A and B are shown apart, each in its own frame.
Chain A
């Protein structure tokens, strides 16, 4: 059972463009929605996270949009840079779910 769906699987964006990655979840018990960034040979690094009491959170060039009724959330990377090239994982957690449940990941390539 796939609790977190993520799309696209891979994404190529021109430098300066907007990268958009989408996630959907099934269980309404989740109440914390982090995004992780992973570079090759490194561990997942917490990038930005949102709780369901807000519909949007922005930190620098990174924005999460959250739609509670649709059980969907997305990551927007504005002014994408080659240094943003990495694998991005959406994830879910909950007060009753101690573990992080990861999506399958999106490989982002930002080309000059």
Chain B
């Protein structure tokens, strides 16, 4: 069964450093998403991406965050200057359709900011 893959599985970074989280969505999917889960809390939406542009972003997704689809297979989340409160699990998801269609999640990247 096709799956969303994310790398790395764990990233440890010093506060203030830039970090890039990588995702390979399911190959025929057109809609891409990033979510965040702080330890013990619910999963929160960060951003959705379609047709090479952001379609929606949450208030969490401020100017320190950016997303990119650099080629036909990868989808990345960049945090420009990490803060302690960015420590969380980051999940990538993809969907064949837009709103109201099933989204499939990767196993996440655990980001630890020191």
Contacts and interface: CB of A to CB of B under 8 A. Distances in A.
Contact of A32 (B4, B101, B108): B101
Interface of B: 4, 31, 33, 35, 41-45, 48, 50, 55-56, 58, 91, 93, 98-108
Given A46-B102, A89-B43, A98 B48 contact: yes
Residues of A contacting B: mostly: strand
Nearest to B35: A100
Nearest to A34: B102
Contacts of B104: 46
B54 to A, nearest CB: 11
B91 A32 contact: no
Q: How large is the interface on A (under 10, 10 to 19, 20 to 34, 35 or more residues)?
A: 20 to 34
Interface of A: 31-32, 34, 36, 41-46, 49, 89, 93-105
Given A98-B56, A99-B33, A100-B93, A46 B43 contact: no
